[in-house]
Chain A
Amino acid sequence: MLKYCLKRLAFLPLVMFGVTGLLFCCLQYLSPEMRASLYVKDPRQLAQLDQVIEKYGLRKPVYVQYAIWLKQVAHGDLGYSETAKMPVSEAIKSFFPATFELTVMTFFPILFVGVLFGVL
C-alpha cells in the first residue's frame, strides 16, 4: 500500500510539469498583445503596450517563457496575481483554508455517489 502511494506521489512532479507546460502552450494561442492586456487597462497606457510586452517577455519563444517561469518557481517566486492583487503564494495561503474546507465537505458525497453509480 505504502509503495503504491509513494509511486503515485513520485509521478506528481511529472504531472505538474506536464499540466503547466500544456497550460503555457494553450496560453500562447493568445497573442502577446492579448496577454499584455492584463496589465494595460487604461487608454493612457496604450502607447506603452510594446514596453509591457518586452518587460514580461511575452514575445519570447514559449519554451524560453516556460524556462523563465520554472526558474522563478524554483526560487520560490510564484509570481504576482493581477486578479487577486497579491503575490500568488500569498493568495494560495489566504484562499487555501476555504478551498480545503470545500474539498473535504464535497469529498464524501462525491465518493458516495460515485461508488453508487459505479456499482449500478
Chain B
Amino acid sequence: MIRILLCAALLLGTLPASAAAAAVKNPDTYTYLTISDSDSMDPAWAYDSSSDLIILNVYEPLVMFDKSSTERLIPILSEKVPSRENGLISADGRTYTFPIRKGVKFHDGAPMTAEDVKYSILRFMLMDRAAGPSSLLLEPLTGYSSTRDEHDAVRPRVWEDVNRAVAVQGDKLVLRLPRPYAPLLSILASWAPVVSKAWAVKNGDWDGSEATWKKFNNPDKESSPFFERADGTGPFKLYRWDRKTKEFILTRNDQYWRAPARLKNVVIKGVNEFGTRKLMLEAGDADTIYADRPLLSQVQNLPGVKILDDQPTVQMDPIIFFTFKINTVANAFSGSGRLDGNGIPPDFFADKDVRKGFAYAFDYKGFIADVWRGKGSQAHGAIPKSLPGFNPSQPTYRLDLKKAEAHFRKAFGGKLWDQGFHFTIAFNSGNLQRQTVCQILKRNIESLNPKFKIDVRSIEWPTFLDAQNASKLPLFVLGWNADYPDPHNFAFPILHSEGNYPQIQKFKDPEMDRLIDEGERETNAAKRKVLYARLQAREYEEVPSLVIVDTVLYRTQRDWVKGWYDNPIFPDAPYGGYFYPLYKE
C-alpha cells in the first residue's frame, strides 16, 4: 500500500507543472511582431494594413461588424444601425440617418458630436490624396471617384456635392446618396472613422470650411497633425509611434464609452527577421507574430504557443490576368509581336480559346496542395468564399490537358497550333506564390506542343508596375485585397470594364458591366445573390482572368492570450486585428 502511494506521489511530482511553468509574461501588455511598415496614422490618408490596424484600435466608425460576421453590423458611434425596418434608411434607399451616440469622449476629453462625424467624413472625401482611399466614400456619396478630373484640376461642384450628401440634423448625421448603393454601410464600417474637429483645428488642420478645403486637398503626407498623432474615441490611445525602432505603443483609454479594454498597453513592433520573431515568441516577449504558410512547421510545436488555422480571408490572390490588347511595341515580353512562333500578337488573349486553353492547363489542386499545404479551397469566381454572393455550385476549371489541347488547336483558326508562340511571363520578385503560378503554367503549356514556349522572368516591382501599366505584360499575376467585405468590392475591380484590372487588361464585357452596376444598386440581399451568381457564371464562360484559391491563414499566439476573435476584414487579419477584447491569463 505504501509502495503504491509512494509511486503515485512520485508520478504526480514528475508531471509537467504546465500551469505553474508558463506564468503569463507582461500580463498587462500585449506585443505583436509584424513585418510591414506603416504609412500614416491619418484615417483620411492611410491605405495600407499596417496603418489601418492602428486606426482600427484608436478611432471608431459609425458601425462595425458584429464579431466575426461580414454581414451583421452593430452600432458603434451611431446609436442604431440604419435599416429599412427601423426607418433609418429611406424607402428609396437614398437617405441614411444615424442618431449619434451621446456621452462619448475623445481621448483629450472633449465630447464627440454629429459635427465631428460630418467633419470626419468630409475630410476623408476632400483630402483625396493620390492613391488614397477617398474614392471609397466619394463614389457612393457623389457619384464620382475623385475630387479632381483627368487634368488634375478640382471639379467645380465638389463642395456643393459633398455638403448635400453629408448633413447634420440636430444630433443626427444624415447621408443623402445620388442613387441607392448597397455596400454603403459595409464601407462605413471600415473607413472614415470619427476624428475630433476641434483637435484638428487646434493643430493646424482643415477648419471644415469651404474657404480653405482646397488647401488640404491632395496634401503632403507629413503635413497633417494626424500623421503621427491621434485623437479618437477608440479603446486605445496612440501613445507613441517611433519610426526609428518601428514601434507603436498604444495605451488603454480609461474613459472609453464601453467597458475599458482589459489590456493596459499594446506594442506593435516591426521585426523583419523571422528568426528573431520566433525567438521572442518562444521567450514570451511577443504574444503574436506574423508568420505565413511556409513557416508553419517552425511554429507548430513550440511550447506555450497555439496555432489557430483555417481563418477565412477576404482576398483573391493570386489571380492570373490576361491582357486582351498587348502593347507589342518595343516589348521584350511579347517577342516578335506576331503569331509566327517567335512571339505573340497583340490580340493573343483576345481569342477565347487561348484563354480557355490556359484555364485548363493550370493545376489548381496541385497549387493548393503545394503552396498552401492543402489548406484552403479552389475559388469559384472573383468573389471569395467568405462573402455573400459566393456561389458554391459555380463550376470551376480544373487541370485537363486534353481539353487545353483541344482549345489551342481551335485557336486562331488552327494557326496557333501550327505556328506556336513564344512569350515571357513576369512575376514581381520576392513573391513565391506568383512565381509558382508562372512555373506551373509554363510547364503544363509547354508540354502540349514543342512549339509552345514560355519564359518566366522575375522583375522588380518598379519594372513590373511600369510594364503592366503600359499593357506590355501579356499575362500578369496579382491579387486583390478587400477594402470592405462586399461582393461589389471584388466584382468591380476584377471584372468591370472601369475597374482596376480590366482597365489594364483592356478588357470589356458589357454584360458583366451591367450585372455589376445592378448589383451595386440592388439593396435586396436575395436579388443581389442572383446577380452575382449570374456574373460569376459569365466570368466562367468568358474567362478574362483565372482565380485560383480561397485562401485561409493561420494565427500564431501564446496560449495565455484570450478573447481573440477574427474578422477577415480587420486590417492585418488574422495576425493584427482588434485588440479591444484581448486579455492575457
Contacts and interface: CB of A to CB of B under 8 A. Distances in A.
Given A31-B466, A87-B222, 19 more contacts: A33-B465, A34-B466, A36-B465, A38-B462, A41-B48, A42-B47, A43-B481, A44-B493, A46-B504, A47-B493, A47-B503, A49-B465, A51-B130, A52-B130, A54-B130, A55-B218, A80-B221, A85-B38, A85-B243
B549 to A, nearest CB: 16
Nearest to B482: A44
Contacts of B131: 39-40, 45, 48-49, 51-52
B447 interface: no
A35 to B, nearest CB: 8
Contact of B500 (A35, A38, A44, A85): A44
A51 B217 CA distance: 13
Given A51-B146, A80-B221, A44 B465 contact: no
B155 to A, nearest CB: 14
B37 A85 contact: yes
B300 interface: no
A44 B130 contact: no
A38 to B, nearest CB: 8
A64 interface: no
Interface of B: 37-38, 47-48, 129-132, 135, 146, 148, 152, 218, 220-222, 243-244, 461-463, 465-466, 468-470, 478-481, 483, 493, 499-501, 503-504
B461 A37 contact: yes
Contacts of B218: 55
A114 B500 CA distance: 57
Most A CB contacts (10 A, CB to CB) among B130, B146, B462 go to: B130
Main DSSP-derived SS at the B contact region? mixed
B13 to A, nearest CB: 54
A25 interface: no
15 contacts: A37-B462, A38-B462, A42-B481, A43-B478, A43-B500, A44-B500, A45-B47, A46-B469, A46-B501, A46-B504, A48-B135, A49-B465, A80-B220, A85-B37, A94-B244
A67 interface: no
B470 A33 contact: yes
Interface in A9-51: 30-31, 33-49, 51
Contacts of A92: none
A33 B152 contact: no
A36 B483 CA distance: 22
B243 A51 contact: no
User: What size tier do the contact residues of chain A reach?
Assistant: 20 to 34
Contacts, number: 82
A80 to B, nearest CB: 6
Interface of A: 30-31, 33-49, 51-52, 54-55, 80, 84-87, 94
A46 B130 contact: no
Nearest to B468: A46
A48 B466 CA distance: 13
A-B CB proximity, top 6 nearest: A51-B130, A34-B462, A45-B131, A37-B462, A33-B466, A55-B130
Contacts of A31: 466
Nearest to A48: B131
A48 B480 CA distance: 15
B500 A86 contact: no
Nearest to B466: A33
A80 B465 contact: no
B483 A44 contact: yes
Contact of B462 (A30, A42, A85): A30
A85 B248 CA distance: 14
A35 B465 CA distance: 10
A85 B270 CA distance: 13
A31 B467 CA distance: 10
Contacts of B148: 51
Given A44-B480, A55-B130, A49 B47 contact: no
A77 B37 CA distance: 23
A91 B243 CA distance: 10
Contacts of A43: 478-481, 500
Contacts of A44: 47, 480-481, 483, 493, 500
Contacts of B480: 43-44
Given A42-B48, A44-B500, A37 B466 contact: yes
Most A CB contacts (10 A, CB to CB) among B38, B131, B135, B478 go to: B131
Nearest to B246: A85
A84 B148 CA distance: 30
Most A CB contacts (10 A, CB to CB) among B37, B462, B480 go to: B462
A46 B473 CA distance: 15
Contact of A34 (B152, B221, B463): B463
Given A33-B469, A42-B47, A42-B48, A51 B481 contact: no
Most B CB contacts (10 A, CB to CB) among A36, A39, A48 go to: A48
Most B CB contacts (10 A, CB to CB) among A36, A42, A44, A94 go to: A44
Nearest to A54: B152
